[in-house]
Chain A
Amino acid sequence: DTGVSQDPRHKITKRGQNVTFRCDPISEHNRLYWYRQTLGQGPEFLTYFQNEAQLEKSRLLSDRFSAERPKGSFSTLEIQRTEQGDSAMYLCASSLGQGGKTQYFGPGTRLLVL
């Protein structure tokens, strides 16, 4: 399978704990995006990378959130001191070039904060 993969698919954690998610994009794609999606809503942009450079961060991304793409391949999204409001589906997408036309999404990581 050469699509976008995410790990884990599901995560349950207690409030205050730290969690880290991983995204492996399609191998030749230079752009990688993180989105958050809650029930009944569309994906909301969090941040994106072009190669290893983080180019933009949404105001949704509080100081508790950090993302990296150290070698321009896979990316990690860490949430520190999780809150119940962080419960959502975290989606990763990748594209070749500016990619506004076609972004390829991974299956997502569903986070539940108790």
Chain B
Amino acid sequence: GQSLEQPSEVTAVEGAIVQINCTYQTSGFYGLSWYQQHDGGAPTFLSYNALDGLEETGRFSSFLSRSDSYGYLLLQELQMKDSASYFCAVRPSGNTPLVFGKGTRLSVIA
């Protein structure tokens, strides 16, 4: 089976840094993606890691450790508009669809 674990909720203060963790158990591993979804909106792509290490895109960074089956999304200089749900997703192989976690609801407070 395939399973991804991430915290259900995280609260952080505006301007701070927050890390959202994701551990996975899948039949294979081709890459870890992160998506953001605002209430009532569509998931939008944030970041992707196929190899170990850190990928940085502006205020967002994503990290992967394949040996630990673990990754995280790091959001810096938090803004109120970052309040949303964040999903990690694994592609078990090159030809299989994404398997999503249940999502982490981030609340940014003043």
Chain A residues with a Cβ under 8 A of chain B: 4, 33, 35, 40-45, 48, 55-56, 91, 93, 98, 100-108
Q: Closest Cβ of chain B: how far from A75's Cβ, in Å?
A: 14
Contact of B98 with A by CB under 8 A: yes
Cβ < 8 Å to A, chain B residues 85-105: 87, 89, 91, 94-103
Interface residue from B41, B43, B45, B94 paired with A43 (Cβ < 8 Å): B43
Contact of B83 with A by CB under 8 A: no
Q: Closest Cβ of chain A: how far from B22's Cβ, in Å?
A: 11
Establish whether residues A42 and B89, one from each chain, have CB atoms under 8 Å apart when the complex forms: yes
Establish whether residues B41 and A107, one from each chain, have CB atoms under 8 Å apart when the complex forms: yes
Residue of B nearest to A48 (CB): B97
Establish whether residues A102 and B48, one from each chain, have CB atoms under 8 Å apart when the complex forms: yes
User: Please, which residues of chain B bring their CB within 8 A of the CB of A35?
Assistant: 100
> 22 A-B contacts, Cβ less than 8 Å apart?
A33-B97, A41-B102, A42-B4, A42-B89, A42-B100, A42-B102, A43-B87, A45-B97, A45-B99, A48-B97, A56-B96, A98-B94, A100-B30, A101-B33, A102-B33, A104-B45, A105-B35, A105-B42, A105-B44, A107-B41, A107-B42, A108-B42
Residue of B nearest to A45 (CB): B97
Establish whether residues A103 and B30, one from each chain, have CB atoms under 8 Å apart when the complex forms: no
Establish whether residues B100 and A103, one from each chain, have CB atoms under 8 Å apart when the complex forms: no
Residue of A nearest to B4 (CB): A42
Residue of A nearest to B97 (CB): A45
User: Cα distance A55–B100 when bound, in Å?
Assistant: 19
Establish whether residues A98 and B95, one from each chain, have CB atoms under 8 Å apart when the complex forms: yes
User: Please, which residues of chain A bring their CB within 8 A of the CB of B95?
Assistant: 55, 98
Establish whether residues A43 and B100, one from each chain, have CB atoms under 8 Å apart when the complex forms: yes
